Structure 1
Amino acid sequence: MSEAVPSSTGYWKKNQQRLAPWLFLAPGMAMFVIYVLFPIIESIWISFHDWDGLGDKVWIGLGNYVELMGDNSFYTSLKNNVLWLVLYLLSIPAGLAVALFLNQTVTGIRLYKSLFFFPFVISQVVVGLIFTWFYAPDFGLFSKLIENLTGQQIAILADERFVTYGIIVAGLWPQTAYCMILYLTGLNNINPEQVEAARMDGAKGIKLLWYVVLPQLAPATFIAMVVTVIGSLRSFDLVSIMTSGGPYGSSQVLSYFMYEQALSEYGFRMGYGAAIAVVLFLIMMIFITLFIVRMLMQERNS
């Protein structure tokens, strides 16, 4: 008499192909829930409370958001983040231009690739220190150059008019290198037959780039766009290293403003900091959603 096959074994054999992908996805999904989804929900919950991080939470509803709408520092940080977002996007065409240059077969191209790749591998803290010295009024190269051209020195990081632009330039250096890497990878995967066919039809220069090369680089452009937007909106480290939000809070961004309110000497206002974090998260989600919708529409049209 043969033994009966356990029901669990029979169920697995019948549904193995359907269940196997979920078993492979389970660890990643668990990490996403624990380290991404849960903190987002917890931050939203904390934003409705007055909390110092140690004592009891006091429910205040939308009180933190109402206070935020009347805080001048919030609008300064928001304005600077918009400025970061607009100017940071320059790293995408700059990265494409560098990638097109480095995609050539010329003598010493590996050395050039190493030099352009270097900003990507060094820490943002190091980048901030380098540009702080670069802008230094007494001995900085940029300051000396401006002095030779105009006859006077400009303290970039101490001037409210220029400080945010100076930090953004520092951020563009490694971000351009990152976009360059994405586009170099995309250029290596371009179909050479399409390029040759376009050249036989008389396409060259800008037309070849616009109608043949760029459409094939759309995945790299999408990744570069999303990463650049996220990087511009969470630009904390450079601001912290180069100016600490100064002078007089003029270079603050939302991420640094959040840190300043929640974790610094301002009183450990965790609820208020969480409200700033929620606003920053919503701004990121709006931009990323727009990019995804646009990409899906382009794929459907093509």
Structure 2
Amino acid sequence: MSQAINDQTSWLRRNRLTVTPLLFLLPAVLFFLVYVIFPIAESFQISFYRWDGLGEPRYIGMANYEELWTDRAFEVSLWNNMKWLALYLLAIPAGLMIALFLNQNVVGIRLYKSLFFFPFVISQVVVGLVFTWFYDPSFGLLNKILTGFGFDAVNVLGDPKLVTYGIIAAGLWPQTAYCMILYLTGLNAVDPEQVEAARLDGAKGPKMLWYVILPQLRPATFIAFVVTIIGALRSFDLISIMTNGGPFGTSRVLSFYMFEKALSEYGFRMGYGAAIAVVLFLIMLCFIAYFLWSMYQDEKGAR
């Protein structure tokens, strides 16, 4: 007995450099498995059933996914998500430009940083309410400006052609602030010796930015891309606050349509909502896998 205990103790001593970090990681891994991996697997399973969330689930195979192909509302939601993806990425170059402007030692720069940082710290609900008032056709600031310059007033949130773009503009406000913070952090880590050497070689302006600054900001750019894409695909709160999917369902995205079908009074179709969630997860997974692979290839090439 004592011999077995001694052998175990000696094994732990020999492998403590491997065992110690694994023990520290174990709680996080368990939480990740319970609260992330298990719900994802459960969503895949539920998507093959017809279930209202209370009664007995009935297995229907791929019927939920087959219905998606003919569901006009799903098509509109998917197309709106593509718009979100394309336009939401504007937050990255906008955040970079603001970060470059704020990365200076001039009078009042702390005040400017606070003003640009402000959208990031306020709730998405507050952002939605502010832009709802901003777009209001009767007293909104947008129409006051348009009519002041002689243009006709527009009802952004009531026009099926404009509503999605109006909500995306609202989402870009805090997202740009977040990307700005990432780039400000990255600019603090830029090697000043490389910048000085590039200046001695005559590099300045766009060349300095493209060949010297941006390569050192690659980690910040990677995080900005991942977070922005995830934010574009899960854009639920702004739509819920500003339009509730209207007018006539034209501002829906996949996350909101999933909620409508699975959890709202209009649906309670848990299986169909899970199928929509699976499609959204697979789209998100493709983008994240691509960026992780690109990052891995860059690190592999740098060795």
Question: Taking structure 2 as the reference length, what is the TM-score of the superposition?
Answer: 0.97
Q: CA deviation at 1:204?
A: 0.2
Measured in 2, the distance between the counterparts of 1:280 and 1:242 equals: 22
> Number of matched residues?
300
Which residue is 1:211 aligned to? 211
The one-letter code matched in structure 2 to 1:67 is E
Which residue is 1:232 aligned to? 232
Q: CA deviation at 1:15?
A: 2.0
Which residue is 2:128 aligned to? 128
Measured in 1, the distance between the counterparts of 2:262 and 2:177 equals: 33
Cα distance per residue 1:82-136 (max 9 Å; x no partner)? 0000000000000000000000100010010000000000000000000000000
Which residue is 2:51 aligned to? 51
Which residue is 2:257 aligned to? 257
Which residue is 1:147 aligned to? 147
Contact 2:260-2:267 at 8 Å conserved across structures: no
Moved more, 138-147 or 171-180: 138-147
Which residue is 1:67 aligned to? 67
Q: CA deviation at 1:150?
A: 4.2
Which residue is 1:176 aligned to? 176
Measured in 2, the distance between the counterparts of 1:84 and 1:144 equals: 27
Measured in 2, the distance between the counterparts of 1:60 and 1:34 equals: 27
For the pair 1:271 / 2:271, whether they are aligned, the reply is yes
Q: CA deviation at 1:235?
A: 0.2
Q: What is the CA RMSD across the aligned residues, in angstroms?
A: 1.1
Q: CA deviation at 1:290?
A: 1.4
Measured in 1, the distance between the counterparts of 2:246 and 2:135 equals: 15
The one-letter code matched in structure 1 to 2:141 is L
Contact 2:50-2:272 at 8 Å conserved across structures: yes
The one-letter code matched in structure 1 to 2:229 is V
Measured in 1, the distance between the counterparts of 2:171 and 2:248 equals: 21
Which residue is 2:162 aligned to? 162
Measured in 2, the distance between the counterparts of 1:267 and 1:180 equals: 40
The one-letter code matched in structure 1 to 2:93 is P
Contact 2:94-2:176 at 8 Å conserved across structures: yes
Listed as ranges, the gaps of 5+ residues in structure 2 are: none
Cα distance per residue 1:14-55 (max 9 Å; x no partner)? 222221111011011001000000000000000000001111
Which residue is 1:194 aligned to? 194
Question: Taking structure 1 as the reference length, what is the TM-score of the superposition?
Answer: 0.97
Could you say if the C-alpha distance between residues 301 and 9 of structure 1 is closer, same or farther in structure 2, counting changes exceeding 3 Å? closer
Listed as ranges, the gaps of 5+ residues in structure 1 are: none
The one-letter code matched in structure 1 to 2:59 is W
Q: CA deviation at 1:149?
A: 2.9
Q: CA deviation at 1:69?
A: 1.1
State, as a whole percentage, how many aligned pairs show the same letter. Answer: 64
